Structure 1
Amino acid sequence: MPVVVVSDSSSRLGVDDEKRWNIREVPLHVLVDGDDLRDGVDEIPYDIHDRPKVTTAGAAPADLEETYRQALADSAGDGVVAVHLSAALSSTYSAAVIAAREFGSAVRVVNSRSAAMGVGFVAREAARCAAAGGDVDAVEAAARAARGRSHVFLVVHRLDNLRRSGRIGTASSWLGTALSLKPLLRLDVDGRLVLDQRIRTISKAHAALVDRVADVVGEAPADVVVHHVDNHDAADELGAALTQRLPQLTSLTVADMGPVLSVHVGSGAVGVAVQVAAS
Protein backbone atom coordinates (compact mmCIF):
# COMPACT_ATOMS: atom_id res chain seq x y z
CA MET A 1 0.00 0.00 0.00
CA PRO A 2 1.22 3.59 -0.64
CA VAL A 3 2.71 5.71 2.11
CA VAL A 4 -0.01 7.96 3.60
CA VAL A 5 0.49 11.73 3.99
CA VAL A 6 -1.06 13.58 6.93
CA SER A 7 -1.37 17.35 7.31
CA ASP A 8 -3.43 19.76 9.42
CA SER A 9 -6.30 22.14 8.74
CA SER A 10 -3.98 25.13 8.33
CA SER A 11 -3.04 23.73 4.91
CA ARG A 12 -6.28 24.87 3.25
CA LEU A 13 -6.25 21.82 1.01
CA GLY A 14 -9.62 21.37 -0.59
CA VAL A 15 -11.70 18.24 -0.26
CA ASP A 16 -10.91 17.30 -3.85
CA ASP A 17 -7.15 17.46 -3.24
CA GLU A 18 -7.46 15.45 -0.04
CA LYS A 19 -9.45 12.74 -1.78
CA ARG A 20 -7.30 12.67 -4.90
CA TRP A 21 -4.04 12.39 -2.99
CA ASN A 22 -5.35 10.49 0.04
CA ILE A 23 -4.14 13.20 2.46
CA ARG A 24 -5.46 12.99 6.03
CA GLU A 25 -6.12 16.17 8.01
CA VAL A 26 -5.91 16.87 11.73
CA PRO A 27 -7.94 19.89 12.95
CA LEU A 28 -6.46 22.96 14.60
CA HIS A 29 -8.58 24.68 17.26
CA VAL A 30 -10.29 28.04 17.77
CA LEU A 31 -11.21 28.92 21.36
CA VAL A 32 -14.12 31.36 21.66
CA ASP A 33 -16.60 32.10 24.46
CA GLY A 34 -15.52 29.01 26.35
CA ASP A 35 -16.00 26.73 23.37
CA ASP A 36 -13.24 24.69 21.73
CA LEU A 37 -14.06 24.59 18.02
CA ARG A 38 -12.23 22.27 15.63
CA ASP A 39 -11.28 23.83 12.30
CA GLY A 40 -12.84 21.86 9.47
CA VAL A 41 -15.11 19.91 11.82
CA ASP A 42 -17.20 22.32 13.88
CA GLU A 43 -19.08 25.38 12.65
CA ILE A 44 -16.98 28.47 13.34
CA PRO A 45 -18.48 31.99 13.22
CA TYR A 46 -17.69 33.71 9.92
CA ASP A 47 -16.55 36.86 11.75
CA ILE A 48 -14.26 35.04 14.15
CA HIS A 49 -11.33 37.29 13.22
CA ASP A 50 -13.24 40.35 14.47
CA ARG A 51 -14.24 38.92 17.83
CA PRO A 52 -12.34 39.93 20.98
CA LYS A 53 -10.53 37.45 23.21
CA VAL A 54 -10.48 34.68 20.62
CA THR A 55 -7.45 32.42 20.75
CA THR A 56 -6.22 29.45 18.76
CA ALA A 57 -4.51 26.20 19.62
CA GLY A 58 -2.55 23.64 17.66
CA ALA A 59 -3.64 20.12 16.86
CA ALA A 60 -4.32 18.02 19.95
CA PRO A 61 -1.72 15.33 20.70
CA ALA A 62 -4.43 12.67 21.00
CA ASP A 63 -5.84 13.60 17.57
CA LEU A 64 -2.39 13.49 16.01
CA GLU A 65 -1.59 10.09 17.50
CA GLU A 66 -4.92 8.60 16.46
CA THR A 67 -4.63 9.97 12.92
CA TYR A 68 -1.10 8.63 12.57
CA ARG A 69 -2.19 5.24 13.90
CA GLN A 70 -5.04 4.95 11.40
CA ALA A 71 -2.92 6.24 8.51
CA LEU A 72 -0.19 3.74 9.30
CA ALA A 73 -2.71 0.91 9.36
CA ASP A 74 -4.15 2.08 6.03
CA SER A 75 -0.66 2.07 4.53
CA ALA A 76 -0.31 -1.58 5.61
CA GLY A 77 2.79 -0.55 7.52
CA ASP A 78 4.53 1.18 4.62
CA GLY A 79 4.68 4.42 6.57
CA VAL A 80 3.31 7.90 7.19
CA VAL A 81 4.75 11.32 6.41
CA ALA A 82 3.16 14.17 8.37
CA VAL A 83 3.54 17.73 7.04
CA HIS A 84 2.52 20.43 9.50
CA LEU A 85 2.23 24.18 9.99
CA SER A 86 5.50 26.02 10.65
CA ALA A 87 6.95 25.24 14.06
CA ALA A 88 7.63 28.97 14.45
CA LEU A 89 3.88 29.69 14.26
CA SER A 90 2.21 26.82 16.09
CA SER A 91 2.69 24.14 18.73
CA THR A 92 1.37 21.58 16.25
CA TYR A 93 4.80 20.50 15.00
CA SER A 94 6.23 19.87 18.46
CA ALA A 95 3.10 17.95 19.46
CA ALA A 96 3.40 15.94 16.23
CA VAL A 97 7.01 14.99 16.97
CA ILE A 98 5.97 13.70 20.39
CA ALA A 99 2.98 11.80 18.97
CA ALA A 100 5.13 10.21 16.25
CA ARG A 101 7.54 8.69 18.78
CA GLU A 102 4.92 6.03 19.47
CA PHE A 103 5.51 4.64 15.97
CA GLY A 104 9.27 4.85 15.61
CA SER A 105 10.65 5.46 12.13
CA ALA A 106 7.37 4.45 10.48
CA VAL A 107 5.97 7.98 11.01
CA ARG A 108 8.08 10.92 9.82
CA VAL A 109 7.20 14.50 10.77
CA VAL A 110 8.19 17.39 8.50
CA ASN A 111 8.12 21.03 9.55
CA SER A 112 6.70 22.73 6.45
CA ARG A 113 8.17 26.08 7.57
CA SER A 114 5.08 27.52 5.94
CA ALA A 115 1.42 28.35 6.43
CA ALA A 116 -1.90 28.18 4.58
CA MET A 117 -1.54 26.59 1.14
CA GLY A 118 2.22 26.77 1.59
CA VAL A 119 1.68 23.78 3.89
CA GLY A 120 -0.73 22.26 1.40
CA PHE A 121 1.75 22.48 -1.46
CA VAL A 122 4.40 20.62 0.53
CA ALA A 123 1.91 17.94 1.60
CA ARG A 124 0.70 17.56 -1.98
CA GLU A 125 4.24 17.09 -3.31
CA ALA A 126 4.79 14.38 -0.71
CA ALA A 127 1.52 12.70 -1.66
CA ARG A 128 2.45 12.76 -5.34
CA CYS A 129 5.63 10.89 -4.51
CA ALA A 130 3.65 8.38 -2.45
CA ALA A 131 1.17 7.84 -5.28
CA ALA A 132 4.09 7.17 -7.64
CA GLY A 133 5.26 4.37 -5.37
CA GLY A 134 7.87 6.15 -3.28
CA ASP A 135 8.80 4.55 0.02
CA VAL A 136 8.67 6.48 3.29
CA ASP A 137 12.24 7.78 2.84
CA ALA A 138 11.46 9.07 -0.65
CA VAL A 139 8.19 10.68 0.42
CA GLU A 140 9.86 12.42 3.35
CA ALA A 141 12.62 13.64 1.02
CA ALA A 142 10.03 14.96 -1.46
CA ALA A 143 8.35 16.96 1.31
CA ARG A 144 11.64 18.44 2.48
CA ALA A 145 12.66 19.33 -1.08
CA ALA A 146 9.32 21.04 -1.71
CA ARG A 147 9.86 23.38 1.23
CA GLY A 148 12.58 25.26 -0.61
CA ARG A 149 10.25 25.95 -3.52
CA SER A 150 7.37 27.22 -1.36
CA HIS A 151 6.92 30.94 -0.61
CA VAL A 152 4.27 32.87 1.32
CA PHE A 153 3.69 36.64 1.32
CA LEU A 154 1.08 38.55 3.31
CA VAL A 155 -0.39 42.05 3.48
CA VAL A 156 -2.44 42.95 6.55
CA HIS A 157 -4.83 45.88 6.95
CA ARG A 158 -4.20 46.19 10.65
CA LEU A 159 -1.51 45.03 13.04
CA ASP A 160 -3.42 44.62 16.32
CA ASN A 161 -4.31 40.97 15.64
CA LEU A 162 -0.67 40.09 15.00
CA ARG A 163 0.49 42.02 18.05
CA ARG A 164 -2.04 40.25 20.29
CA SER A 165 -1.10 36.83 18.98
CA GLY A 166 2.65 37.34 19.17
CA ARG A 167 3.13 35.82 15.69
CA ILE A 168 4.94 38.80 14.20
CA GLY A 169 8.41 37.46 15.07
CA THR A 170 11.41 39.63 14.18
CA ALA A 171 9.20 42.46 12.90
CA SER A 172 7.96 43.17 16.45
CA SER A 173 10.48 45.98 16.95
CA TRP A 174 8.58 48.33 14.64
CA LEU A 175 5.03 47.50 15.70
CA GLY A 176 4.86 50.18 18.37
CA THR A 177 5.66 53.04 16.00
CA ALA A 178 4.39 51.81 12.66
CA LEU A 179 0.66 51.29 13.16
CA SER A 180 -0.07 53.36 10.05
CA LEU A 181 1.90 50.97 7.87
CA LYS A 182 0.35 48.37 5.57
CA PRO A 183 3.41 46.14 5.60
CA LEU A 184 4.34 43.39 3.22
CA LEU A 185 5.26 40.37 5.33
CA ARG A 186 6.73 37.01 4.37
CA LEU A 187 7.61 33.68 5.87
CA ASP A 188 11.38 33.33 6.00
CA VAL A 189 13.42 30.15 5.46
CA ASP A 190 12.78 29.12 9.06
CA GLY A 191 9.03 29.64 8.77
CA ARG A 192 8.96 32.85 10.83
CA LEU A 193 6.71 35.77 9.90
CA VAL A 194 8.99 38.71 9.19
CA LEU A 195 8.86 42.14 7.61
CA ASP A 196 9.65 42.19 3.90
CA GLN A 197 8.92 45.83 3.07
CA ARG A 198 7.59 48.92 4.86
CA ILE A 199 4.72 50.35 2.81
CA ARG A 200 2.24 53.12 3.58
CA THR A 201 -0.80 52.25 1.48
CA ILE A 202 -2.73 49.11 0.67
CA SER A 203 -2.57 49.65 -3.09
CA LYS A 204 1.22 49.96 -3.00
CA ALA A 205 1.48 46.96 -0.69
CA HIS A 206 -0.56 44.84 -3.09
CA ALA A 207 1.60 45.99 -6.01
CA ALA A 208 4.74 45.11 -4.05
CA LEU A 209 3.27 41.68 -3.28
CA VAL A 210 2.83 41.02 -7.01
CA ASP A 211 6.42 42.12 -7.62
CA ARG A 212 7.76 39.80 -4.91
CA VAL A 213 5.82 36.83 -6.25
CA ALA A 214 7.20 37.57 -9.71
CA ASP A 215 10.70 37.71 -8.21
CA VAL A 216 10.52 34.23 -6.66
CA VAL A 217 8.78 32.64 -9.65
CA GLY A 218 11.00 34.09 -12.37
CA GLU A 219 10.26 32.29 -15.64
CA ALA A 220 9.49 28.92 -14.04
CA PRO A 221 6.06 27.29 -13.97
CA ALA A 222 4.38 27.68 -10.59
CA ASP A 223 1.15 27.06 -8.70
CA VAL A 224 -0.36 30.00 -6.83
CA VAL A 225 -3.14 30.34 -4.28
CA VAL A 226 -4.35 33.82 -3.30
CA HIS A 227 -5.73 33.79 0.23
CA HIS A 228 -7.88 36.43 1.89
CA VAL A 229 -9.81 37.27 5.05
CA ASP A 230 -13.22 38.64 4.06
CA ASN A 231 -11.65 40.46 1.12
CA HIS A 232 -12.59 38.48 -1.97
CA ASP A 233 -12.52 41.50 -4.31
CA ALA A 234 -8.91 42.35 -3.49
CA ALA A 235 -7.95 38.69 -3.82
CA ASP A 236 -9.56 38.52 -7.25
CA GLU A 237 -7.69 41.65 -8.32
CA LEU A 238 -4.41 40.19 -7.13
CA GLY A 239 -5.16 36.97 -8.96
CA ALA A 240 -5.82 38.87 -12.18
CA ALA A 241 -2.60 40.88 -11.78
CA LEU A 242 -0.54 37.76 -11.17
CA THR A 243 -2.10 35.94 -14.13
CA GLN A 244 -1.22 38.85 -16.41
CA ARG A 245 2.28 39.22 -14.99
CA LEU A 246 3.07 35.48 -14.97
CA PRO A 247 1.39 33.80 -17.95
CA GLN A 248 3.35 30.59 -17.31
CA LEU A 249 1.49 29.84 -14.07
CA THR A 250 0.27 26.24 -13.97
CA SER A 251 -2.67 27.13 -11.73
CA LEU A 252 -4.06 30.07 -9.76
CA THR A 253 -6.96 29.84 -7.35
CA VAL A 254 -8.51 32.13 -4.75
CA ALA A 255 -9.40 30.76 -1.32
CA ASP A 256 -10.15 32.04 2.17
CA MET A 257 -7.37 31.94 4.72
CA GLY A 258 -9.31 29.81 7.17
CA PRO A 259 -10.43 30.69 10.70
CA VAL A 260 -7.22 29.88 12.56
CA LEU A 261 -4.94 32.06 10.46
CA SER A 262 -7.65 34.73 10.15
CA VAL A 263 -7.66 35.23 13.91
CA HIS A 264 -3.99 36.18 13.73
CA VAL A 265 -3.94 38.40 10.63
CA GLY A 266 -7.31 40.16 10.86
CA SER A 267 -9.99 41.33 8.47
CA GLY A 268 -8.94 42.45 5.01
CA ALA A 269 -5.65 40.55 4.94
CA VAL A 270 -4.53 39.00 1.68
CA GLY A 271 -1.74 36.54 1.11
CA VAL A 272 -0.18 34.56 -1.68
CA ALA A 273 1.23 31.04 -1.42
CA VAL A 274 3.51 29.97 -4.25
CA GLN A 275 4.96 26.60 -5.22
CA VAL A 276 7.64 26.93 -7.89
CA ALA A 277 8.09 23.87 -10.12
CA ALA A 278 11.23 21.82 -9.67
CA SER A 279 13.90 22.65 -12.24
Structure 2
Amino acid sequence: MAKRRTRFPGGVAIVTDSTASLSPRDAADEGIEVIGLSVIVGADTLIEGVDADAEVIATALREFVPVSTSRPNPQEFAEVYRRLADEGAKEIVSIHLSSRMSGTVDSAIFAARAAAVPVTVVDSRQVGLATGFAAGIAARARGSKVKAAKVAELARTAGENSTVLIYVDTLEYLRRGGRVGSAAALIGSALSVKPLLTIADGLVVPLEKVRTTGKALARMEALAVEAAERCDDYDIGVQHLANAAVAEQLAERLAKRLERESVPVDEMGAVIGAHVGPGTVAVTVTPH
Protein backbone atom coordinates (compact mmCIF):
# COMPACT_ATOMS: atom_id res chain seq x y z
CA MET A 1 0.00 0.00 0.00
CA ALA A 2 1.33 3.44 -0.96
CA LYS A 3 2.30 5.66 1.91
CA ARG A 4 -0.28 8.39 2.47
CA ARG A 5 1.06 11.88 1.86
CA THR A 6 1.28 14.02 4.98
CA ARG A 7 -0.95 17.10 4.83
CA PHE A 8 1.69 19.25 6.52
CA PRO A 9 5.19 17.73 6.31
CA GLY A 10 7.02 18.53 9.52
CA GLY A 11 3.82 20.14 10.77
CA VAL A 12 4.47 23.22 8.59
CA ALA A 13 1.83 24.79 6.32
CA ILE A 14 2.89 27.04 3.44
CA VAL A 15 0.82 30.05 2.40
CA THR A 16 1.44 32.46 -0.47
CA ASP A 17 -0.61 34.93 -2.50
CA SER A 18 -2.01 34.86 -6.00
CA THR A 19 0.74 37.06 -7.47
CA ALA A 20 3.06 34.06 -7.01
CA SER A 21 1.63 32.77 -10.30
CA LEU A 22 1.06 29.20 -9.10
CA SER A 23 -1.53 27.26 -11.05
CA PRO A 24 -4.20 25.55 -8.91
CA ARG A 25 -2.67 22.19 -9.85
CA ASP A 26 0.88 23.19 -8.89
CA ALA A 27 -0.33 24.71 -5.62
CA ALA A 28 -2.23 21.52 -4.79
CA ASP A 29 0.70 19.28 -5.74
CA GLU A 30 3.06 21.28 -3.53
CA GLY A 31 0.56 21.63 -0.69
CA ILE A 32 0.56 25.43 -0.83
CA GLU A 33 -2.40 27.58 0.25
CA VAL A 34 -3.00 30.60 -2.02
CA ILE A 35 -4.74 33.81 -0.94
CA GLY A 36 -6.14 35.93 -3.76
CA LEU A 37 -5.56 39.64 -4.24
CA SER A 38 -8.37 41.79 -5.60
CA VAL A 39 -8.50 43.52 -8.97
CA ILE A 40 -10.94 46.39 -9.44
CA VAL A 41 -12.02 46.72 -13.08
CA GLY A 42 -14.33 49.67 -13.52
CA ALA A 43 -17.00 49.18 -10.85
CA ASP A 44 -16.37 45.44 -10.44
CA THR A 45 -14.15 43.87 -7.78
CA LEU A 46 -12.69 40.54 -8.90
CA ILE A 47 -10.45 38.03 -7.14
CA GLU A 48 -7.28 36.93 -8.88
CA GLY A 49 -7.37 33.23 -9.60
CA VAL A 50 -11.15 33.09 -9.21
CA ASP A 51 -12.85 35.48 -11.63
CA ALA A 52 -10.02 37.79 -12.72
CA ASP A 53 -7.69 36.60 -15.45
CA ALA A 54 -5.13 38.14 -17.77
CA GLU A 55 -7.49 38.37 -20.75
CA VAL A 56 -9.98 40.44 -18.78
CA ILE A 57 -7.22 42.79 -17.62
CA ALA A 58 -5.58 43.16 -21.02
CA THR A 59 -8.92 44.04 -22.60
CA ALA A 60 -9.76 46.57 -19.88
CA LEU A 61 -6.39 48.29 -20.17
CA ARG A 62 -6.64 48.55 -23.95
CA GLU A 63 -10.12 50.04 -23.65
CA PHE A 64 -8.98 52.53 -20.98
CA VAL A 65 -11.26 51.04 -18.33
CA PRO A 66 -9.88 51.98 -14.89
CA VAL A 67 -7.99 49.06 -13.33
CA SER A 68 -6.49 48.94 -9.83
CA THR A 69 -5.49 46.28 -7.34
CA SER A 70 -5.98 45.70 -3.62
CA ARG A 71 -4.30 43.53 -1.01
CA PRO A 72 -6.17 40.90 1.01
CA ASN A 73 -7.30 42.29 4.36
CA PRO A 74 -5.99 40.87 7.65
CA GLN A 75 -9.27 39.05 8.29
CA GLU A 76 -8.81 37.00 5.12
CA PHE A 77 -5.38 35.91 6.34
CA ALA A 78 -6.72 35.23 9.82
CA GLU A 79 -9.40 32.92 8.44
CA VAL A 80 -6.85 30.94 6.41
CA TYR A 81 -4.42 30.67 9.32
CA ARG A 82 -7.28 29.51 11.59
CA ARG A 83 -8.40 26.85 9.13
CA LEU A 84 -4.87 25.50 8.63
CA ALA A 85 -4.40 25.26 12.39
CA ASP A 86 -7.73 23.45 12.71
CA GLU A 87 -6.59 21.02 10.00
CA GLY A 88 -3.46 20.14 11.97
CA ALA A 89 -0.73 22.61 11.04
CA LYS A 90 1.62 23.25 13.95
CA GLU A 91 3.38 26.21 12.30
CA ILE A 92 2.79 28.35 9.21
CA VAL A 93 5.26 29.99 6.82
CA SER A 94 3.52 32.73 4.81
CA ILE A 95 5.48 33.91 1.73
CA HIS A 96 4.40 37.01 -0.17
CA LEU A 97 5.21 39.61 -2.77
CA SER A 98 7.47 42.53 -1.95
CA SER A 99 6.27 44.81 0.82
CA ARG A 100 7.56 47.72 -1.26
CA MET A 101 4.96 46.93 -3.94
CA SER A 102 1.97 45.92 -1.83
CA GLY A 103 0.59 45.94 1.70
CA THR A 104 -0.02 42.18 1.54
CA VAL A 105 2.87 41.44 3.91
CA ASP A 106 1.45 43.96 6.41
CA SER A 107 -1.93 42.19 6.36
CA ALA A 108 -0.22 38.84 6.91
CA ILE A 109 1.84 40.17 9.83
CA PHE A 110 -1.22 41.71 11.48
CA ALA A 111 -3.15 38.43 11.23
CA ALA A 112 -0.16 36.39 12.39
CA ARG A 113 -0.15 38.14 15.77
CA ALA A 114 -3.46 36.55 16.75
CA ALA A 115 -3.01 33.17 15.03
CA ALA A 116 -3.48 29.99 17.06
CA VAL A 117 -0.11 28.64 15.87
CA PRO A 118 3.20 30.41 15.18
CA VAL A 119 3.27 32.16 11.79
CA THR A 120 6.48 33.32 10.11
CA VAL A 121 5.80 35.92 7.42
CA VAL A 122 8.39 36.10 4.63
CA ASP A 123 8.77 39.18 2.43
CA SER A 124 10.12 37.63 -0.77
CA ARG A 125 11.16 41.08 -2.06
CA GLN A 126 9.90 39.77 -5.39
CA VAL A 127 6.70 39.30 -7.35
CA GLY A 128 5.39 36.76 -9.82
CA LEU A 129 7.23 33.51 -10.47
CA ALA A 130 10.10 34.44 -8.15
CA THR A 131 7.67 34.43 -5.22
CA GLY A 132 6.08 31.24 -6.50
CA PHE A 133 9.43 29.51 -6.90
CA ALA A 134 10.38 30.59 -3.36
CA ALA A 135 7.15 29.11 -2.02
CA GLY A 136 7.79 25.88 -3.91
CA ILE A 137 11.31 25.59 -2.52
CA ALA A 138 9.90 26.12 0.98
CA ALA A 139 7.18 23.51 0.46
CA ARG A 140 9.64 20.88 -0.73
CA ALA A 141 12.05 21.58 2.14
CA ARG A 142 9.54 20.66 4.83
CA GLY A 143 10.15 17.55 6.89
CA SER A 144 10.42 16.17 10.40
CA LYS A 145 13.96 17.49 10.83
CA VAL A 146 13.40 20.87 9.13
CA LYS A 147 12.04 23.60 11.37
CA ALA A 148 9.77 26.38 10.17
CA ALA A 149 12.57 28.91 10.68
CA LYS A 150 14.75 27.04 8.18
CA VAL A 151 11.89 26.74 5.71
CA ALA A 152 11.33 30.51 5.94
CA GLU A 153 15.06 31.17 5.52
CA LEU A 154 15.17 29.09 2.34
CA ALA A 155 12.22 31.00 0.89
CA ARG A 156 13.75 34.35 1.79
CA THR A 157 17.09 33.38 0.25
CA ALA A 158 15.40 32.15 -2.94
CA GLY A 159 13.71 35.51 -3.36
CA GLU A 160 16.91 37.43 -2.69
CA ASN A 161 18.88 35.38 -5.23
CA SER A 162 16.27 35.37 -8.00
CA THR A 163 16.88 37.14 -11.29
CA VAL A 164 13.77 38.74 -12.79
CA LEU A 165 13.96 40.38 -16.21
CA ILE A 166 10.98 42.30 -17.57
CA TYR A 167 10.33 43.73 -21.02
CA VAL A 168 7.42 46.17 -21.27
CA ASP A 169 6.05 47.84 -24.39
CA THR A 170 5.50 51.03 -22.38
CA LEU A 171 6.06 52.30 -18.87
CA GLU A 172 2.64 53.94 -18.87
CA TYR A 173 0.90 51.19 -16.90
CA LEU A 174 3.63 51.04 -14.25
CA ARG A 175 3.44 54.83 -13.97
CA ARG A 176 -0.33 54.73 -13.49
CA GLY A 177 -0.05 52.17 -10.71
CA GLY A 178 2.82 53.91 -8.93
CA ARG A 179 4.96 50.74 -9.07
CA VAL A 180 7.64 52.07 -11.37
CA GLY A 181 10.17 52.96 -8.63
CA SER A 182 13.37 54.51 -9.95
CA ALA A 183 12.35 53.48 -13.46
CA ALA A 184 10.44 56.76 -13.44
CA ALA A 185 13.62 58.30 -14.85
CA LEU A 186 12.81 56.56 -18.13
CA ILE A 187 9.28 57.89 -18.51
CA GLY A 188 10.29 61.06 -20.28
CA SER A 189 11.83 59.06 -23.10
CA ALA A 190 9.35 56.17 -23.04
CA LEU A 191 8.24 56.77 -26.62
CA SER A 192 11.74 56.12 -27.96
CA VAL A 193 12.84 53.42 -25.51
CA LYS A 194 11.87 49.77 -25.06
CA PRO A 195 12.59 49.43 -21.33
CA LEU A 196 14.28 46.37 -19.88
CA LEU A 197 13.51 46.28 -16.17
CA THR A 198 14.38 44.13 -13.17
CA ILE A 199 13.44 43.86 -9.52
CA ALA A 200 16.02 45.03 -6.99
CA ASP A 201 15.51 45.45 -3.26
CA GLY A 202 11.82 44.86 -3.70
CA LEU A 203 11.18 47.48 -6.40
CA VAL A 204 10.88 47.58 -10.17
CA VAL A 205 13.97 49.40 -11.42
CA PRO A 206 15.50 50.10 -14.83
CA LEU A 207 18.13 47.69 -16.04
CA GLU A 208 18.93 48.88 -19.53
CA LYS A 209 17.57 51.20 -22.20
CA VAL A 210 17.12 49.45 -25.53
CA ARG A 211 15.89 51.05 -28.74
CA THR A 212 14.02 48.15 -30.32
CA THR A 213 11.87 45.26 -29.16
CA GLY A 214 14.13 42.74 -30.88
CA LYS A 215 17.23 44.02 -29.11
CA ALA A 216 15.44 44.13 -25.76
CA LEU A 217 14.32 40.50 -26.05
CA ALA A 218 17.76 39.37 -27.24
CA ARG A 219 19.39 41.11 -24.29
CA MET A 220 16.87 39.61 -21.87
CA GLU A 221 17.62 36.16 -23.28
CA ALA A 222 21.37 36.66 -22.84
CA LEU A 223 21.00 37.88 -19.26
CA ALA A 224 18.69 34.98 -18.37
CA VAL A 225 21.21 32.47 -19.74
CA GLU A 226 23.99 34.15 -17.73
CA ALA A 227 21.90 33.94 -14.56
CA ALA A 228 21.04 30.28 -15.12
CA GLU A 229 24.62 29.31 -15.88
CA ARG A 230 25.71 30.71 -12.51
CA CYS A 231 23.50 28.13 -10.76
CA ASP A 232 24.05 24.46 -10.07
CA ASP A 233 20.29 24.00 -10.24
CA TYR A 234 17.45 26.43 -10.76
CA ASP A 235 13.81 27.04 -11.64
CA ILE A 236 13.09 29.07 -14.76
CA GLY A 237 9.92 30.32 -16.37
CA VAL A 238 8.62 32.83 -18.90
CA GLN A 239 5.51 34.93 -18.36
CA HIS A 240 3.66 37.30 -20.66
CA LEU A 241 0.53 39.40 -20.95
CA ALA A 242 -1.22 39.09 -24.33
CA ASN A 243 2.08 38.27 -26.06
CA ALA A 244 2.08 34.47 -26.27
CA ALA A 245 3.90 34.03 -29.58
CA VAL A 246 6.88 36.15 -28.52
CA ALA A 247 7.02 34.48 -25.08
CA GLU A 248 6.95 30.99 -26.58
CA GLN A 249 9.70 31.81 -29.06
CA LEU A 250 11.84 33.18 -26.23
CA ALA A 251 11.21 30.05 -24.15
CA GLU A 252 12.25 27.81 -27.04
CA ARG A 253 15.51 29.71 -27.49
CA LEU A 254 16.23 29.57 -23.76
CA ALA A 255 15.55 25.83 -23.62
CA LYS A 256 17.93 25.23 -26.52
CA ARG A 257 20.73 27.36 -25.07
CA LEU A 258 20.35 25.91 -21.58
CA GLU A 259 19.97 22.34 -22.87
CA ARG A 260 16.65 21.83 -21.13
CA GLU A 261 13.73 19.88 -22.52
CA SER A 262 11.53 22.95 -22.21
CA VAL A 263 11.03 26.24 -20.39
CA PRO A 264 7.46 26.75 -19.08
CA VAL A 265 5.42 29.65 -20.47
CA ASP A 266 2.45 31.09 -18.61
CA GLU A 267 0.26 34.15 -18.96
CA MET A 268 0.69 36.64 -16.16
CA GLY A 269 -1.86 36.88 -13.42
CA ALA A 270 -4.36 39.71 -13.31
CA VAL A 271 -2.62 41.73 -10.59
CA ILE A 272 0.82 41.85 -12.20
CA GLY A 273 -0.76 42.31 -15.61
CA ALA A 274 -2.70 45.34 -14.37
CA HIS A 275 0.57 47.11 -13.61
CA VAL A 276 2.77 46.13 -16.56
CA GLY A 277 0.24 46.13 -19.41
CA PRO A 278 -0.27 44.13 -22.60
CA GLY A 279 2.84 43.08 -24.52
CA THR A 280 4.94 42.44 -21.43
CA VAL A 281 7.32 39.47 -21.38
CA ALA A 282 9.29 38.40 -18.30
CA VAL A 283 11.84 35.73 -17.43
CA THR A 284 12.54 34.50 -13.89
CA VAL A 285 15.52 32.41 -12.77
CA THR A 286 15.56 31.20 -9.16
CA PRO A 287 18.48 29.11 -7.87
CA HIS A 288 17.76 26.15 -5.58
Q: Same fold by TM (over 0.5)?
A: yes
1:68 to 68, 77, 81: 81
Amino acid aligned to 2:284: A
Matches within 5 A, 1:30-109: 30-44=39-53, 46-49=55-58, 50=61, 51-76=64-89, 78-103=90-115, 106-109=118-121
How far did 1:43 drift? 4.6
How far did 1:174 drift? 2.4
Q: List alignment gaps of at least 5 residues for structure 1.
A: none
Q: How far apart, CA to CA, are the structure 2 residues paired with 1:18 and 1:243?
A: 24
Q: How far apart, CA to CA, are the structure 1 residues paired with 2:74 and 2:161?
A: 29
1:25 counterpart residue number? 34
How far did 1:17 drift? 1.7
Matches within 5 A, 1:188-207: 188=200, 190-207=201-218
1:258 to 269, 278, 281: 269
1:210 counterpart residue number? 221
1:224 counterpart residue number? 236
Q: State the SS of the aligned residue for 1:183.
A: strand
Q: Kindly tell me: are residues 38 and 212 of structure 1, through their superposed partners in 2, closer, same or farther at Cα, counting changes over 3 Å?
A: same
Amino acid aligned to 2:81: Y
1:167 counterpart residue number? 179
1:156 to 150, 163, 168: 168
How far did 1:252 drift? 1.9
Q: If the length of structure 2 is used for normalisation, what is the TM-score?
A: 0.89
Q: How far apart, CA to CA, are the structure 2 residues paired with 1:116 and 1:147?
A: 11
Indicate conservation of the 8 Å contact 1:28/1:60, yes or no: no
Q: Which moved more, 1:155-164 or 1:135-144?
A: 135-144
Which whole-Å deviations, capped at 9, do the CAs of 1:183-223 have from their partners, x for residues lacking one?
Answer: 110011x1210000000111100001011112222253322
Q: How far apart, CA to CA, are the structure 2 residues paired with 1:132 and 1:162?
A: 43
Indicate conservation of the 8 Å contact 1:226/1:235, yes or no: yes
Which whole-Å deviations, capped at 9, do the CAs of 1:95-138 have from their partners, x for residues lacking one?
Answer: 11111111287001000111111110000111111256522122
Q: How far apart, CA to CA, are the structure 2 residues paired with 1:260 and 1:154?
A: 15
Q: State the SS of the aligned residue for 2:191.
A: coil
Q: How far apart, CA to CA, are the structure 2 residues paired with 1:192 and 1:45?
A: 22
Q: State the SS of the aligned residue for 2:50.
A: coil
Amino acid aligned to 1:150: S
Matches within 5 A, 1:231-246: 231-246=243-258
How far did 1:73 drift? 2.7
Q: Kindly tell me: are residues 104 and 175 of structure 1, through their superposed partners in 2, closer, same or farther at Cα, counting changes over 3 Å?
A: farther
2:126 counterpart residue number? 114
Indicate conservation of the 8 Å contact 1:48/1:259, yes or no: yes
How far did 1:22 drift? 0.9
Runs of 4+ in 1 over 4 A off after TM superposition: none
1:126 counterpart residue number? 138
Q: Which moved more, 1:65-74 or 1:20-29?
A: 65-74
How far did 1:34 drift? 1.6
Q: Kindly tell me: are residues 16 and 208 of structure 1, through their superposed partners in 2, closer, same or farther at Cα, counting changes over 3 Å?
A: same
Q: How far apart, CA to CA, are the structure 2 residues paired with 1:94 and 1:253?
A: 31
Count matched residues.
274
